[in-house]
A and B are shown apart, each in its own frame.
Chain A
Amino acid sequence: MARQKLYFEDVKEGDELPSFTVENLTRTDFVKYAGASGDFNPIHHDQTFAEASGNPTVFAMGMLNAGILSRLITDYVGVAHLRKYRVRFATRVWPGDSVTCKGKVTKKMVENGEHIIEGEVVALNQKGEVAIQGSFRAALPARA
């Protein structure tokens, strides 16, 4: 896992972020995230409650999916360079689903002496449906 430092000069508008897929999310994954985040809304781990709420079963916390998607950005820009991360939740992610994370750089600019890039990211399930749509902004180091 040698990670190279990304410089502003290395980025072009339209560049794609290296995509990846997290296969087969399980109920155990939801429970792990519940413990790590403290989000114990029963709709994500309690079958009885999920059914009473009109769901066939429990489903992933949106923020678990947003966390998985955040790695796409931090692997690319480095966690220290992130300035903004925004997500909109679309389709829910169910046990057994896979999540593919993709993104691209949409804008590059110098603002108040900072070397800024902006981009769009998306998390798709195995059917290609959008689970999350997101965007980010980062301030990168520059060679010059």
Chain B
Amino acid sequence: MGGTMADKNDIGKVGKPITMRIEAGKIREFAKAIKDPNPVYYDENVAKAELGGVMPPPTFLMTLAHWDDGEGRPQVKMDLRRVLHGEQEFEYLGPIYAGDVLTAVTRVTDVYEKTGSRGGTMTFVVMETEFTNQKGEKVAVSRSTTIETGQVVAR
């Protein structure tokens, strides 16, 4: 298994900054996909009246993680067949509106191991992403914990 799993040496690794324009159409598509019928995501006039503009749903920031071809993700070796998304956290520090241009920078903040309930070692990788808008304001931080199981995940 040597070389195919994350380890402590990965802590501090940083991905390339990813820049994404927050678009109303993408927000609408995302709201539809999470089955949220709230008109603030579909009707710009309602959004303007209620919120001052179209705002993305809380988990929309995940789209930045998939916006590029993976360069935003720090280079940590993981086997997709053995990877589970364990936890996800978002902190919202300032408003985000359609039209804003966000830059996301992701770094590995922790890697640790635990023994699984069915034996085998599980490796936990914590990545933190900071989102900054076009004015240089930090508007959000996300923390993602990915678990790499010792073997192919089967249930």
Known: A62-B85, A86-B88. A32 touches B33 (CB 8 A): yes
Give A19 to B77 CA distance when docked, in angstroms. 40
Q: Is B112 an interface residue (CB 8 A)?
A: no
10 contacts between A and B (CB under 8 A): A33-B33, A36-B33, A39-B65, A43-B80, A62-B85, A63-B62, A70-B59, A80-B95, A85-B89, A87-B87
Q: Pick the interface stretch among B2-10, B35-43, B100-108.
A: B35-43
Q: Is B137 an interface residue (CB 8 A)?
A: no
In the complex, what residues of B have CB within 8 A of residue A84's CB?
Answer: 89-92
In the complex, what residues of B have CB within 8 A of residue A112's CB?
Answer: none
Interface positions of A from 35 to 50, Cβ below 8 Å from B: 35-43
Give A67 to B33 CA distance when docked, in angstroms. 9
- Contact flags (1/0) for A60-82 with B, using CB distance below 8 Å? 01111011101101110011101
Which residue from B34, B63, B152 sits with its C-beta under 8 Å from A64?
A: B34
In the complex, what residues of A have CB within 8 A of residue B38's CB?
Answer: 1, 3, 71, 74-75, 79
What is the size, in residues, of chain B's interface with A at 8 Å between Cβ atoms?
39
Q: Is B136 an interface residue (CB 8 A)?
A: no
Tell me the smallest distance from the CB of B39 to a CB of chain A, in Å. 6
Secondary structure of the B side of the interface?
A: mixed
Contact A88 B87 (CB under 8 A): yes
Closest to A135 in B: B89
Q: Is B119 an interface residue (CB 8 A)?
A: no
Interface positions of B from 55 to 104, Cβ below 8 Å from A: 55, 57-59, 62-63, 65-67, 80-81, 84-92, 95
Q: Is A113 an interface residue (CB 8 A)?
A: no
Interface residues on A, range: 35 or more
In the complex, what residues of A have CB within 8 A of residue B91's CB?
Answer: 83-84
Which residue from B33, B37, B51, B87 sits with its C-beta under 8 Å from A37?
A: B33
**Which of B32, B51, B92, B95 has the most A CB atoms < 10 Å from its CB?**
B92
Contact A63 B59 (CB under 8 A): yes
Tell me the smallest distance from the CB of A117 to a CB of chain B, in Å. 14
Closest to A81 in B: B92
Give A61 to B80 CA distance when docked, in angstroms. 13
Closest to A65 in B: B34
Closest to A22 in B: B35
Contact B34 A68 (CB under 8 A): yes
In the complex, what residues of B have CB within 8 A of residue A80's CB?
Answer: 51, 55, 95
Closest to B154 in A: A54
Q: Is A52 an interface residue (CB 8 A)?
A: yes
Contact B58 A1 (CB under 8 A): no
In the complex, what residues of A have CB within 8 A of residue B51's CB?
Answer: 78-80
Contact A38 B63 (CB under 8 A): yes
